[in-house]
């Protein structure tokens, strides 16, 4: 059996000098990145966002971790799609594995977590569960809590016109959102294919002692979330599970 949630949080907060209150907060990916940095000391912490609040930022953090795993030949799939949903069980299981890995590999040297992240804020929201930026339109259940302006005739059991109009709008918006999500996934999958090709070619060149600045620039653009690249509001993407 692995450590409990409280034991893991106590260890994590002490190691990284943070103040997480829930294991779900690890779904942002930032803490996982810095745990590995405490072992190797070469994770690009300047690119890790501890105060990430959107799913696309969580994915960017976890992709940094994924690249470090590849570089260090750490044979552990990272279930990105599940972790970024910030559910307790998925993050608990992954954190238990991280703790075992840390116990087996931490060299024991002093580690200054605040200096490594250059004092960057760590104010991750305490509650993350519904923070996926592609928020759905409010359901009709939310409408029932308010009395429509026109009200209902006493004794009437028929929904009034205002409620019917709102329900129609919700249905239309949900259909529109579904179309946007399909389009988003279509383009994301293309970018993912490009990323895999670029990474594979860079690894081949590295093995041969060569490099390609164009490929490195393409990779830099793919991983950028701030400099030179703006993600629109609601621009979350779902990473394929890496099994």
Enter the tokens of residue 115: 């200096």
153 CB-near residues (< 8 Å, 6+ apart) = none
**C-alpha to C-alpha distance for 113 and 103, rounded to whole angstroms:** 17
**C-alpha to C-alpha distance for 204 and 121, rounded to whole angstroms:** 37
**How large is the average pLDDT for residues 205-234?**
73
CB 80 within 8 A of CB 18: no
Is 164 or 96 the better-scoring residue by pLDDT?
A: 96
Q: Which pLDDT score is estimated for 9? A: 97
Is 220 or 125 the better-scoring residue by pLDDT?
A: 220
Q: Which pLDDT score is estimated for 158? A: 58
Residue 170 has pLDDT above 80, yes or no: yes
What crossing angle do the helices spanning 161-207 and 213-223 adopt, rounded to 10°?
150
- The CB density around residue 65, as the number of other CB atoms within 10 Å, is 24
CB 17 within 8 A of CB 114: yes
pTM: 0.55
Confidence band (pLDDT; 50, 70, 90) for 107? very high
Cα atoms in the Cβ-side hemisphere of radius 13 Å centred on 183: 7
Q: Structural domains in the chain?
A: 5-117 (1.10.418.10), 166-223 (1.20.5)
Is 158 or 85 the better-scoring residue by pLDDT?
A: 85
Q: 29 in the Ramachandran plot: left (φ > 0), alpha (ψ -120 to 50) or beta?
A: left
Average pLDDT, whole number, for the chain?
81
**How large is the average pLDDT for residues 84-107?**
96
CB 86 within 8 A of CB 128: yes
Residue 138 has pLDDT above 60, yes or no: no
Is 154 or 81 the better-scoring residue by pLDDT?
A: 81
Q: Work out the percent of the chain whose per-residue pLDDT is above 70.
A: 77
Of 79-83, 149-153, 194-198, 216-220, give the range with the top mean pLDDT. 79-83
Is 61 or 221 the better-scoring residue by pLDDT?
A: 61
CB 205 within 8 A of CB 211: yes
Q: Which of 226, 157, 222 is nearest to 190 (CA)?
A: 222
Place of tokens 């930032």: 30
b/e map of 29-52 (b: 16 or more CB within 10 Å)? Answer: bbbbbbbbbbbeeebebebbbbeb
Is 222 or 194 the better-scoring residue by pLDDT?
A: 194
Q: Which of 24-33, 109-118, 180-189, 196-205 has the least mean pLDDT?
A: 180-189
DSSP letter string over 100-118? HHHHHH-------HHHHTT
């Amino acid at each position: 059996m692995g450590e409990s949630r409280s034991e893991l949080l106590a260890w994590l907060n002490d190691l990284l000098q943070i103040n997480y209150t829930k294991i779900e907060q690890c779904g942002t990916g930032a803490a996982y990145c810095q745990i590995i940095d405490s072992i190797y000391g070469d994770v690009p912490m300047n690119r890790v966002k501890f105060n990430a609040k959107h799913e696309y930022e969580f994915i960017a953090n976890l992709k940094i971790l994924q690249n470090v795993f590849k570089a260090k030949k750490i044979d552990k799939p990272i279930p990105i799609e599940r972790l970024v949903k910030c559910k307790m069980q998925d993050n608990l299981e992954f954190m238990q594995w991280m703790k075992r890995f840390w116990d087996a590999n931490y060299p024991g040297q002093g580690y200054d977590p605040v200096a490594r992240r250059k004092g960057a804020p760590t104010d991750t929201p305490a509650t993350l569960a519904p923070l996926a930026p592609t928020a759905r339109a409010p359901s009709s259940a939310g409408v029932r809590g308010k009395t429509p302006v026109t009200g209902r005739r006493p004794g009437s059991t028929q929904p009034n016109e205002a409620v019917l109009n709102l329900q129609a709008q919700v249905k239309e918006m949900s259909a529109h959102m579904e179309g946007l999500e399909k389009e988003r996934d279509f383009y994301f999958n293309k970018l993912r294919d490009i990323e895999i090709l670029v990474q594979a070619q860079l690894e081949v060149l590295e093995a041969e002692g060569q490099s390609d600045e164009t490929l490195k620039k393409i990779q830099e653009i793919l991983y950028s979330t701030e400099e030179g690249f703006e993600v629109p509001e609601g621009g979350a993407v779902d990473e394929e599970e890496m099994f």
